[in-house]
A and B are shown apart, each in its own frame.
Chain A
Amino acid sequence: EAGVAQSPRYKIIEKRQSVAFWCNPISGHATLYWYQQILGQGPKLLIQFQNNGVVDDSQLPKDRFSAERLKGVDSTLKIQPAKLEDSAVYLCASSSLIQGPPYEQYFGPGTRLTVT
């Protein structure tokens, strides 16, 4: 079974530029998560999708961050414009409702973003 795929693995941009990250979850997983992991901290949930609908985006900075999950499979997370404090690793995870609670999450390798 293929794992969660993310690209790119690394990205360096200047502040005020825009950037996009891509995630392909495990086949058949209905739930997809985006996390932000700042150096020295645990992952913080940004947004949770159930199929192509948003379940929770309460911690997503909506003035600059956006995310979509078209057709309930792949997802993209965008930052526009980027700030220095957005430097972090962006992790994507997916889980299956079929397996029942507690919906164990499987993580991708992450995208390391550096904003200069």
Chain B
Amino acid sequence: AQSVTQLDSQVPVFEEAPVELRCNYSSSVSVYLFWYVQYPNQGLQLLLKYLSGSTLVKGINGFEAEFNKSQTSFHLRKPSVHISDTAEYFCAVISTDSWGKFQFGAGTQVVVTP
């Protein structure tokens, strides 16, 4: 079985400041990792994904994430946020034996203020 823990339910941040959203997972087999963003009243949009290879993954809108196998983490970062980054962010895991079944974290609400 797999599970995902997002360590912060809400992260307030000032515009142009950096932000880090923390995600830890557990799984008995290898995993694929994802970050999705959900803007108000919209569906989920893929930010980035880790499948294999380089542990530093770059995504859309200036976001990046680093896969750390020893710490079973996949933290999301952005060096300078904009007001438009205000949204809910979800970490998700697919284990390699689950054939496409996502396990989502509870989400982290990012609120960017001027």
B90: CB under 8 A from chain A? yes
**Chain B interface residues toward A at CB < 8 A:** 4, 9, 32, 34, 36, 41-46, 49, 51, 90, 92, 94, 96, 99-102, 104-107
**Chain A interface residues toward B at CB < 8 A:** 4, 31, 33, 40-45, 48, 55-56, 91, 93, 95, 101-110, 112
Interface core residue of B41, B44, B51, B104 (most chain A CB under 10 Å):
B44
A29 to chain B, nearest CB (A): 11
Q: Which single residue of chain A is at the shortest CB-CB distance from B32?
A: A102
Q: Is the CB of A43 within 8 A of B100?
A: no
User: How far is A112 from B36 in the complex, measured between Cα atoms in Å?
Assistant: 19
B90: chain A residues at CB < 8 Å are 42-43
A102: chain B residues at CB < 8 Å are 32, 49, 51, 94, 96, 100
B100: chain A residues at CB < 8 Å are 31, 48, 95, 101-103, 105
Question: A45-B101, A48-B101, A55-B99 known; A108 and B43 CB under 8 Å?
Answer: yes
User: How far is A40 from B108 in the complex, measured between Cα atoms in Å?
Assistant: 9
User: How far is A31 from B45 in the complex, measured between Cα atoms in Å?
Assistant: 18
Question: A4-B43, A42-B90, A91-B44 known; A105 and B106 CB under 8 Å?
Answer: no
